[in-house]
Amino acid sequence: MPIHCNDANAVQLEEWNRLFAALHPTHPLKEGGSSSSDVIVRYDKEANVAVFQTAMGFYFRRGDLDAAVAAELKATHRDYLCSPFELTVNPREGKADPAPLLQRFADLYGKKARQIDTHLFSHNGASILLALFPSSVVREMMAPHGGMLKTVFKGNTRDLRRIPALHEFLHFPDEDVDVESVFATRYESGGFEAVRALHYQIVKEVIEIKRDRGGALTLGPIAQWDA
């Protein structure tokens, strides 16, 4: 049976493996290997956390064992990026302290760090901290290394043609019509700040036009990162 869990009974394992066999090959539990790849489930009763280990790495869910496994089998995608961090064990205390790493998250991501869920467990003699990064933090992690920024805009071409930062890169029809579109700019590593500045230049110009001349222009989301 592909799913292994020392904390489960035979009836649970049989049902989980029946459901596992019916999963689509792109399911998170099957990615990175064949449909028969092993899935190891470790349950921490005290923390009420189930850790899933597959060919792609680790993931964890909170809740009792049955509920956590059921949620994982039912999921069609992962809402979080799970990253493992091996911690150094303090020889005097005999255990690892995750506090410095958590402080590092706070330093890097500010208030968004509160959205990062973590679980500390032991694996092959090592202390591993699993961190679930939400999409807002993943975007902040990945954005400096390249990608695309997108700003959605909506308004009449009569007003949109007055925005130099848009008009320089986009062609608008000569007739006055209402449009809704996306201003997207792809960039490489090191270009994030310059591209973001361009998108916020658009915001500045829209504010100036609305203040000086009026016009029904709307923006948003602004400078949203995408791979």
Q: At residue 123, what is the residue type? A: H
pLDDT value of position 214: 64
Q: What is the pLDDT of residues 107-153, one digit of tens each?
A: 999 999 999 999 999 999 899 999 999 988 998 899 999 999 999 99
Q: Are residues 130 and 170 in the same domain?
A: no
Of 20-24, 25-29, 31-35, the range with the lowest mean pLDDT is: 31-35
pLDDT value of position 36: 52
Containing structural domain, residue 122: 3-138
Q: Please state, in angstroms and as integers, the Cα–Cα distance from residue 223 to each residue in 110, 114, 122, 200, following that order.
A: 19, 23, 40, 8
Q: Are residues 20 and 123 in the same domain?
A: yes
- Which of residues 138, 167, 187 is at a domain's end? 138
- Which of residues 121, 138, 155 is at a domain's end? 138
Q: How far apart are CA 103 and CA 118, in angstroms?
A: 13
pLDDT value of position 33: 58
Global pTM value? 0.73
35 versus 110: the higher-pLDDT residue is 110
pLDDT value of position 32: 63
Q: Are residues 18 and 107 in the same domain?
A: yes
Q: Are residues 153 and 179 in the same domain?
A: yes
Q: How far apart are CA 171 and CA 49, in angstroms?
A: 53
* 127, 96 Cβ separation under 8 angstroms: yes
Q: Are residues 110 and 219 in the same domain?
A: no
Q: Are residues 98 and 180 in the same domain?
A: no
Q: What mean pLDDT comes out for the span 71-91?
A: 91
Helix residue ranges per DSSP H, the chain = 10-21, 65-74, 99-109, 135-142, 157-160, 164-167, 192-212
Q: Are residues 55 and 83 in the same domain?
A: yes
Domain count, the chain: 2
Q: What is the pLDDT of residues 197-217, one digit of tens each?
A: 999 999 999 988 877 766 688
Q: Are residues 201 and 169 in the same domain?
A: yes
| HSE-CB of 170 using CA atoms within 13 angstroms | 21
Q: Are residues 95 and 166 in the same domain?
A: no
Q: Are residues 213 and 130 in the same domain?
A: no
- Which of residues 94, 115, 138 is at a domain's end? 138
Q: Are residues 88 and 134 in the same domain?
A: yes
